[in-house]
Structure 1
Amino acid sequence: MNKHFTTSGPVVPSKHYCIDPMQRLDWEEIRYLIDAEKYFVLHAPRQTGKTSTLLAMMEVLNQSGEYNTLYVNIEGAQTAREDADKGMTTVCQTIAARARDYGIEPTLPALAQSILEHINPGTAITELLSRWAQLSPKPIVLMLDEVDTLIGDTLISLLRQIRAGYAQRPRAFPQSIILCGVRDTGGSAFNIKAESLCMGNFSLAEVKLLYQQHTDATGQIFDEAVFPALWEDTQGQPWLVNALGHEMTWKDKTARDRSTLITQERYQAARERLIRSRATHLDQLTNQLKERRVHAVIAALLAGESRIANLQNDDLQYVEDLGLIRTSPQIAISNRIYQEIIPREITWQWQATITHQQAWYLTPERRLDMVKLLTAFQQFFRENSDVWLQGLPYKEAGPHLILQAFLQRIVNGGGRIHREYALGRKYTDLYLEWPLDEVKGFYGEVQRVVLELKILYANLDKTIADGLSQVGGYARHCGATEAHLVIFNRNPDVSWDEKTWHEVRHDAALQVEVWGA
């Protein structure tokens, strides 16, 4: 069978295009920690290749002949919740079963059963690992994956049992234990850890290398113009990179003819299909938006608010560990695809209630009449914002999300909306592209419009002045000839007649339509 892009790990190098997992981490550092009998944490966001890397590490270490290395996924113990005894029983049995399955220690299940019959689960893992280490002719390296899915007393019991045997390593306890998961794990209950290592995304060079494997195998070529957009859209997030490769080369049935050049336009179509698909990875992302700590950070980002002082460092670290944001060079959503998905998913059920038809906003030249469209939005916002803001889960960014949902409903199936927001800027930028020729699409003439969304906090004149400068700079950066500044007044004491207005201003030679809502 020919190799292909995979979106459901772990990677099998004989079947899948892949970056060598052993090149995705500092192997020299990890080998040093193992040889030095250290216990440490290795974490990475979901679907970044962590499991594939751990399995490759197990194979390399076992082939070296120096260690008996075992990888164990203990996510099954998550169902125990706070029942520590039940959770530890599951972990104990899982370790034993995997040792048997990998042929590392076939007798371990029987040993685990004997221990669980005579010893409290609160010490069973310590006892199992101690006896196994004494039986093993080689030092043991144990990798426990999905540790951070355990909660409360279950997690604490596991960490304390590992800590209890730590001083007996390597003769009567594993030489090295690696705790793996999405987040850094342990805290004071695992104060024996030497390091917390984080596995990152692909580099741009690795993205190109991955796609080159497809070209080498099939002869199909990716236009170089694909890669700058792909990089901005994914920032090298491995699942997204593979999913887009799969969309371009397989889900697009016409591209199964390998003489077909993968153009930038084909890439953009694949990107939109992926976003609309609500695939498993993207669905998991939207589920995370419901978590309290995620909500606090993402709400501030979507609204462009400068509330960083009110955010907890632990919350920021947690959301970064999940892969939803980056904190350098500034706090921002991780990549452009996540920037697209997050507001769409928050409002998708509301978008269906918007009944305006796209054709109503088109001029005879097939341009979007932005004045007519935004005038309609003002009325829509006036009539519906109270109801929407009651139901939206992200009320802090409600006005921004309502306008984005309104625009998304209008441009679906024809145009594109690009979103830019970062914490502390107090505004959100939208960049709208609309092809004027239905046949040529984005290869023909394209209408380019920028919109800047701001919340009125104090002085209206200053808000307008700041907004004009910002939207003008953004328009010049995007090459847009149309610019709009939308200012939301959330003061309940101000009437709708006062809030709703429209005037024309200028930033240098650029005409800017300014809207109040």
Structure 2
Amino acid sequence: MKFFNIAGPVKVEKHYALPPLSRIDLAEVMMLIEQEKYFVLHAPRQSGKTSCLLALMHHLNQQGNYHCLYMNAEIVQAKPEDMQRNIRTLLSEIAANARDYLRDPYPESIWMDVLRYVGEERALGELLSRWAAHSPQPLILLIDEVDALMSNTLISVLRQLRTGHAKRPHQFPQSVILCGVRDVRHYRLYSQEDQTFVTGGSVFNVKSEALRLGDFSAEQTRALYEQHTQTTGQVFTPEALDRLWHLTQGQPWLVNALGYELCFASKAARDWQQPITREQVDAARKILLQGPRKPHFDHLVDKLWTDEARRVLEPLLVGHDLATGFRSDDIAGVRDLGLIRQHLDGSIEIANPLYRELIPRWLTWPLQSGMSHQASIYQETDGTLNVAMLLADFQIFFLSHFESWQAGIRYQEAAPLIMLQAFVQRVLDAHGRIEREYGLGRLQMDMLLVWPQADGLQQRVAISTRLLRQSREQTLGSGLRKTRDFMQRRQAEEGHLVIFDRTPGRPCEQRLFFRNETVDGRSIDVWGL
């Protein structure tokens, strides 16, 4: 029986899947190949790149006009800095794949002789040159996971491809597609030979285009879930489908991961007689956010702590009205990871609501894990959560621990907001839910706390957090209006505004305060730190 795929290339006979070649503009790809172009196809990890390349190889070979080979460069990661060893490994991989995919023994018969004859610095180019001359059809080479190659190995591969480019199509591949997470022009590589950094764009200046594999559309997302309905009879309610699209915005791995959690991950999920509801989608969301971290997320978590990611994400977290420290390469890099999307007008935002929730969680998790307070402390006898007590305790916690903790975190400006979120998550995560809104121009981060009640209802509490940027009264006035709007929009019956005053030298007693304000009939507690 088919299932939702969350690891490895799609196998259409085993997985619910969209036709891989429907994910790309096949007409454009074919045009570039016919024009003998070398180009890049890139997308975030586990977005379907490998499935598309394998499908493209089979498509081209079935047409009979080309001799097309797929290879995966990830095989060299065991010793990424050993260029000579890695070139030998790549030659062996080409030979093995030509034998297995194409039933072509020629590369296997010559690669070791080529290596002995010209050495590692020229062996890849020489092997491709001889193979292209020997092949009755033009040779097409698809190199997957090219960003697994490091420094001198990648420089050598790109330079050998560039050197042979002029001999195509009769004595070198007619077209080469490099596939990875990032556009090759954004690679910054250290050349041991030149003792300097070089960019991928300068090393591989024969690249003509960089195509990006996009996310699923709303229609494609719905069609993928419909395959499960057609197979098992289990239906997704319209509200569930709307919620799935809202949470994922079509990010392929997230779409499949939620589908698998809803339909296969447990015995209860495999009861396909029951329809999938919005409530079940939110339960699956909670598992994805708070359960054991999936391998898909590991790469993203590591990248969050880089300066490149911090320079882009921190202004979004604190809600800058104007972010003046953006660099185009930083934005491109974080966009290539799939964490943000950039619109035609240049504006950027977190790519989808699930990532918008996950990014603060990944940043706060080490701190949250070290906290000791429990939800039971703040739960009243009627089952409601005493959020005022929670925030009062946070004031004490913040004054006791913030300065020492802040010294070890990269996100210095966002650190107060991160600490508060860790404190709140420690209480909410066991039974409740948090939904966040943040981004450029908001001037604050808003959190909706959803706490279940025994009668099936929900306690909904808004907490807005902002940094003091102007006078206290100006910050308070703007913050109260935005908190009121957030409460109205998210139907919260209780509201809190937390203002962090990080003015150097200002004593604690001047920063610490509590007051209650009423805005258009809505009571909002204000907490100063």
Aligned to 2:334: 319
Offset at residue 146 of structure 1 (A): 1.2
Aligned to 2:191: none
Task: Report whether the alignment pairs 1:333 with 2:350.
Answer: yes
Structure 1 CA distance, aligned partners of 2:374 and 2:150? 49
Offset at residue 509 of structure 1 (A): 2.2
Contact 2:106–2:131 (8 Å) recurs in 1 = no
Partner of 2:238, secondary structure, is coil
Paired residues, number: 511
Aligned to 2:106: 107
Task: Report whether the alignment pairs 1:432 with 2:444.
Answer: no
Offset at residue 423 of structure 1 (A): 2.8
Aligned to 1:165: 164
- Cα displacement string for residues 137-175 of structure 1 (whole angstroms, at most 9, x for unaligned residues): 111111011112223232222111111111111111111
Aligned to 1:5: 4
Aligned to 1:423: 440
- The amino acid across from 1:268 in the alignment is D
Structure 2 CA distance, aligned partners of 1:112 and 1:230? 49
Task: Report whether the alignment pairs 1:201 with 2:215.
Answer: yes
Structure 1 unaligned regions, length at least 5: none
Offset at residue 130 of structure 1 (A): 0.6
Offset at residue 326 of structure 1 (A): 1.2
Q: Trace 1:277-296 onto structure 2 (pairs within 5 A).
A: 277-296=292-311
Contact 1:17–1:210 (8 Å) recurs in 2 = yes
476, 483, 486: which one aligns with 1:464: 476
Aligned to 2:54: 55
Task: Report whether the alignment pairs 1:92 with 2:107.
Answer: no
Offset at residue 204 of structure 1 (A): 1.1
Contact 2:155–2:203 (8 Å) recurs in 1 = yes
Bigger shift: 196-205 or 445-454?
A: 445-454
Structure 1 CA distance, aligned partners of 2:263 and 2:386? 36
- The amino acid across from 1:158 in the alignment is V
Offset at residue 351 of structure 1 (A): 1.5
Contact 2:69–2:102 (8 Å) recurs in 1 = no
- The amino acid across from 1:459 in the alignment is S
Aligned to 1:274: 288
Partner of 2:308, secondary structure, is helix
435, 457, 464: which one aligns with 1:445: 457
- Cα displacement string for residues 307-359 of structure 1 (whole angstroms, at most 9, x for unaligned residues): 63212110110010011111227322222222222222222232233222322
Offset at residue 103 of structure 1 (A): 2.8
Structure 2 unaligned regions, length at least 5: 185-199
Bigger shift: 102-111 or 79-88?
A: 79-88
387, 408, 411: which one aligns with 2:425: 408
Structure 1 CA distance, aligned partners of 2:342 and 2:490? 24
Aligned to 1:213: 227
Offset at residue 435 of structure 1 (A): 1.6
467, 472, 489: which one aligns with 2:501: 489
Structure 2 CA distance, aligned partners of 1:133 and 1:398? 56
- The amino acid across from 2:130 in the alignment is R
Runs of 4+ aligned residues of structure 1 deviating over 6 Å after TM superposition are: none
Partner of 2:65, secondary structure, is coil
Q: Trace 1:41-440 onto structure 2 (pairs within 5 A).
A: 41-185=40-184, 186-275=200-289, 276-306=291-321, 308-328=323-343, 330-437=347-454
Offset at residue 251 of structure 1 (A): 1.5
Partner of 2:434, secondary structure, is strand
Partner of 1:253, secondary structure, is coil
Task: Report whether the alignment pairs 1:15 with 2:14.
Answer: yes
Contact 2:311–2:325 (8 Å) recurs in 1 = no
TM-score (structure 1 length as normaliser): 0.95
Structure 1 CA distance, aligned partners of 2:300 and 2:42? 17
Bigger shift: 228-237 or 19-28?
A: 228-237
Contact 1:80–1:154 (8 Å) recurs in 2 = no
- The amino acid across from 1:93 in the alignment is S
Contact 2:158–2:203 (8 Å) recurs in 1 = yes
Structure 2 CA distance, aligned partners of 1:146 and 1:409? 38
Task: Report whether the alignment pairs 1:480 with 2:497.
Answer: no
Contact 1:347–1:392 (8 Å) recurs in 2 = no
497, 501, 505: which one aligns with 2:513: 501
Offset at residue 502 of structure 1 (A): 0.8
Structure 1 CA distance, aligned partners of 2:130 and 2:321? 55
Contact 2:76–2:90 (8 Å) recurs in 1 = yes
Structure 2 CA distance, aligned partners of 1:80 and 1:122? 17
Bigger shift: 198-207 or 505-514?
A: 505-514
Structure 2 CA distance, aligned partners of 1:308 and 1:13? 45
- Cα displacement string for residues 58-96 of structure 1 (whole angstroms, at most 9, x for unaligned residues): 111111111111111112234554443333232222222
Please tell me the root mean square deviation across aligned C-alpha atoms, in Å.
1.6
Offset at residue 395 of structure 1 (A): 2.7
Contact 1:346–1:392 (8 Å) recurs in 2 = no
Partner of 1:354, secondary structure, is coil
Partner of 1:91, secondary structure, is helix
Partner of 1:350, secondary structure, is helix
Structure 2 CA distance, aligned partners of 1:306 and 1:136? 59
Structure 2 CA distance, aligned partners of 1:228 and 1:378? 39
Offset at residue 393 of structure 1 (A): 4.0
- Cα displacement string for residues 252-300 of structure 1 (whole angstroms, at most 9, x for unaligned residues): 3213121111111111111111222211112222122232312322233
Partner of 1:71, secondary structure, is strand
Bigger shift: 238-247 or 276-285?
A: 276-285
Q: How many percent of aligned residue pairs carry the same amino acid?
A: 44
Partner of 2:102, secondary structure, is coil
Aligned to 1:513: 525
Bigger shift: 235-244 or 268-277?
A: 268-277
Contact 1:308–1:424 (8 Å) recurs in 2 = no
- Cα displacement string for residues 13-69 of structure 1 (whole angstroms, at most 9, x for unaligned residues): 000000111110100100111111111111011000010011011111111111111
Contact 2:462–2:483 (8 Å) recurs in 1 = yes
Contact 1:142–1:174 (8 Å) recurs in 2 = yes
Structure 1 CA distance, aligned partners of 2:306 and 2:419? 21
Bigger shift: 3-12 or 107-116?
A: 107-116
Partner of 1:309, secondary structure, is coil
Offset at residue 424 of structure 1 (A): 4.0
Offset at residue 390 of structure 1 (A): 2.5
Contact 1:346–1:393 (8 Å) recurs in 2 = no
Bigger shift: 132-141 or 188-197?
A: 188-197
- The amino acid across from 1:296 in the alignment is R
Partner of 1:251, secondary structure, is coil
Offset at residue 306 of structure 1 (A): 4.6
- The amino acid across from 1:488 in the alignment is F
Aligned to 2:192: none
